[in-house]
Structure 1
Amino acid sequence: MLQTLDTQEKEQDISEEAEQSLLFTANRPKMIMERGEGMYLWDTEGNAYLDFSGGWAVTSLGHSPAVVQDVLKEQSGTLIHSSPAFYNKPMLEFAKLLTDISCFDKVFFASSGAEANEGAIKLARKYGAVRLNGAYEIITLTNSFHGRTLATMSATGKSQWDHLYEPKVSGFRHVPINDLDACFAAISENTCAIMLELVQGEGGIHIVDQSYLQTLRKACDVYGILLIIDEIQTGIGRTGRMFAYEHYGVEPDIMTLGKGIGGGFPLSAMLTKKQYDLFEPGDQGGTYCGQPLAMAVGRAVVQEVIDRKLGDHAHMQGEYLLLQLRRLSGTFGLSKIRGKGLLTAFDLPAPVGAELVARCLHKGLIINSPSPFVIRLMPALTVATADIDQMLLILAEACKEIGIAAS
């Protein structure tokens, strides 16, 4: 569709405003999002967008859910911040809720997934220093993603980051997913932990095999090293269970949570077993760790996921989504349709991911392409069947318009 002169002028105004005040870090479309409700976002021009990226798996309850609005109003009228030097009531209540529903005993709260993963890395190295004669290396997976701080970028297995911000933080060894021989070959007297995502989200939805994880758990027990599961993207109902590790019959030693845990409010957590409660005062902390406002929101979001059985709903809707994508696959050459719960992906027959994302956005649908051949879908856990049907309709139209077809 040709742009009108008025539209072109508005886009130019947005570009100029952004260039004047914002540090450039991403290529963003020329629109400004103004409000959200449920599965939809609206821009300042009143255009509606069906959101199947969920703010990158963040808006677990949909956009601007009433439960978050209500708890923000209530808690902000009581206590917003007291400093991490003190306990607060929402902190204690939220910590108890998370330990009650998981296999863990202790919680450290933070504000972002990268910060939670930094905490996990620090705890693993503290464990290595105290109990493994100074071991400090952590084995992670190629194609993984653990965050954008310097340490978590070093842990991440994205090839695009290999030479970015050198020198990296040392002490990370990357091995291919589901390759036990490579992992065992990487273990040495310097190894303190193995850290992995059970579903590689940014990597394009690659899933850890059950036998692989179970064998890693046994290996960690034999060598006395820690098993860290990064559930920043998979946790809080996303994969059809409250936590992805529950699919495997394996308990990690450390787990990290983020994204959907706050339903859009900046919040993350690191959980561990009581025998790894090793930090001394001053070893770990942060200005906003356990902030009352964040704690109240997190508690409300997780309780809503529990009360509404949204993990079960995610499993059911995820199965429906995969089924419908398979029905489209013959027409458009979609392949490797995969996922757990509402964390799904498929491969395209050509490297047109960015073009398809742009065309879908033009038609009122938000999807994500983590690489040129891959489309990732991660809608709110509250997504309805009608939303999935509407997404598929727009997706099919967009595929036709850019010429995607089976060979």
Structure 2
Amino acid sequence: MSTSTPSHSQAAQTAAAAADSIFRPEDAVLPQLHTLATSIIRSFDTEASAIEGMLKLTLGEPDFATPDFIKEAALRSLANNRTHYAPNAGTPGLRQAISDYLARRRSLHFPAEDIIVTEGASEAISSVLTALLHPGAVLLYATPAFGLYANVAKLIGVESIAIDTESTDFILTPDALDAALRSIRGRDAVLVLNSPNNPTGVTLNEAQLQGLAEVVERHAVTVLSDEVYAEISYDERPAPSIAQFAPDRTIVVDSASKSYAMTGWRLGFFAAPHNLAAQLAKVHQIHVSTAAMFTMDAAQTAYEQGDASIDLMVETYRNRRDYLVDSLVGLGYDIVRPTGAFYTYVHVPDEFDGSSFDYARLMAREAKVAGVPGEAFVDGPSRYFRFSYAASSDDLHEAVARLRRFRNR
């Protein structure tokens, strides 16, 4: 008796059934997700938190409470049942308040129709980069830098170029930018500019920004200016913006989080040139639809009435900066003196043989003081770590006392 062999279709069905039986949903995610690491800032903060008695100078989280007049505005909004869907781009009142604030405080002139309210600055950055980084485009950013920019590029699947600024005192120079743009001539580019900078606290002045703007105008590049720390500036108040010099090329991203101690409210915005704003708004609508109406009402009050609150907090940050910087220098640390934000970037002592991760772990274990390893802000090993002085004066004094014992051990 002859033995029949399975038909081609039967074999295909059998193979498909076998494949289905071993299918794992985790294998179906975007391949680039496997190359994305979780935030080192958050993961190291969690690691340090497990040590009893830890004093953390890790997160960029203002220790101030949201001012009462802003919270009261939210309560009024809730009492008036402002709990339904808001317009996708934001309430007209908030968009106008932001427009007026930018003109009043920052000498930036964006009409309300070109301002899109987002779920914090992180969503604004993600939505803008998603819209601009088409296949073949390139993301450029200066390092050290907040990790979100490169991660969005990886997620989208486009090339990114990190411009190292350590040799120029952590300042992006026109020559370095021009060289990077020349290397990708013929391709569209997006430049992310973060000033004041996280993690260094370095703030670009008007002359430096004008020099960068002149380079931008010669190339096919759009600028995303991340200005979440613009109000927390010590030499020029607030920090200047490249949008003052290249307004037709610049999208400004900001939020209420740092300026008004509203991190948990998740309320940000981007302001864009008129011919871009409506297109970028489509991506925001797809990503989150809209922010919550009562948080928009609270933010409207902040932007309308919050100037004095900003100034008070910034003066407090200035005093904390001066104390921490002077103390660290007195302990023998080499630091990048911050002119904005609420971070100081500290060099690992030369006598220590290891990475910033190694030093941060040693410092956490022996001094019970936590900073963020510099590996969170560069691709590869680092010899720096970041301290946040968005902490109480008592905590900063205690941190210095612990570090003094640690350095003298």
- The TM-score range, normalised by the shorter chain, is 0.5 to 0.7
Q: Does the aligned pair in 1 maintain the 2:115–2:272 contact within 8 Å?
A: yes
Change in 2 beyond 3 A, CA 1:77/1:368: farther
Tell whether 2:193 aligns with 1:196. Answer: yes
Q: Does the aligned pair in 1 maintain the 2:325–2:337 contact within 8 Å?
A: no
| RMSD across aligned positions (CA) | 4.0
The one-letter amino acid paired with 1:345 is: T
Q: Give the 3-state SS of the residue equivalent to 2:146 in structure 1.
A: coil
Change in 2 beyond 3 A, CA 1:86/1:218: closer
Q: Which runs of 5+ in 1 are unaligned?
A: 1-22, 33-44, 127-133, 156-165, 381-386
1:109 Cα deviation after fit: 1.6
Compare the two structures and name the one with the higher helix fraction. 2
Q: Does the aligned pair in 1 maintain the 2:137–2:158 contact within 8 Å?
A: no
Q: Distance in 2 between matches of 1:93 and 1:376?
A: 37
Q: Does the aligned pair in 1 maintain the 2:88–2:290 contact within 8 Å?
A: no
Q: Which runs of 5+ in 2 are unaligned?
A: 1-37, 103-107, 166-171, 375-382
Q: Distance in 2 between matches of 1:299 and 1:52?
A: 31
Change in 2 beyond 3 A, CA 1:79/1:403: same
Q: 1:174 aligns with which of 143, 159, 162?
A: 162
Q: Give the 3-state SS of the residue equivalent to 2:145 in structure 1.
A: coil
Q: Distance in 1 between matches of 2:366 and 2:97?
A: 42
Q: Does the aligned pair in 2 maintain the 1:199–1:208 contact within 8 Å?
A: yes
Change in 2 beyond 3 A, CA 1:337/1:222: closer
Compare the two structures and name the one with the higher strand fraction. 1
Q: Does the aligned pair in 2 maintain the 1:140–1:175 contact within 8 Å?
A: yes
Per-residue displacement from partner, 1:62-111 (whole Å, max 9, x unpaired)?
135423432332222224543355687xx211111111122123211221
Aligned twin of 1:59? 62
The one-letter amino acid paired with 1:59 is: P
Aligned twin of 1:307? 308
Per-residue displacement from partner, 1:179-225 (whole Å, max 9, x unpaired)?
433322332221243222123314x4344465442222112223353
1:254 Cα deviation after fit: 0.6
Aligned twin of 2:212? 216
Q: Does the aligned pair in 2 maintain the 1:79–1:292 contact within 8 Å?
A: no
Q: Percent identity over the alignment?
A: 10
Q: Distance in 2 between matches of 1:239 and 1:359?
A: 33
Normalising by structure 2, what TM-score? 0.65
Change in 2 beyond 3 A, CA 1:169/1:146: same
Q: Does the aligned pair in 1 maintain the 2:320–2:389 contact within 8 Å?
A: no
Q: Give the 3-state SS of the residue equivalent to 1:57 in structure 2.
A: coil
* Structure with bigger gyration radius: 2
Q: Distance in 2 between matches of 1:92 and 1:185?
A: 42
Structure 2 counterparts to residues 225-244 of structure 1, below 5 A: 225-232=221-228, 234-235=229-230, 237-240=231-234, 244=239
Q: Distance in 1 between matches of 2:89 and 2:177?
A: 41
The one-letter amino acid paired with 1:267 is: L
Aligned twin of 1:108? 116
Aligned twin of 2:269? 269
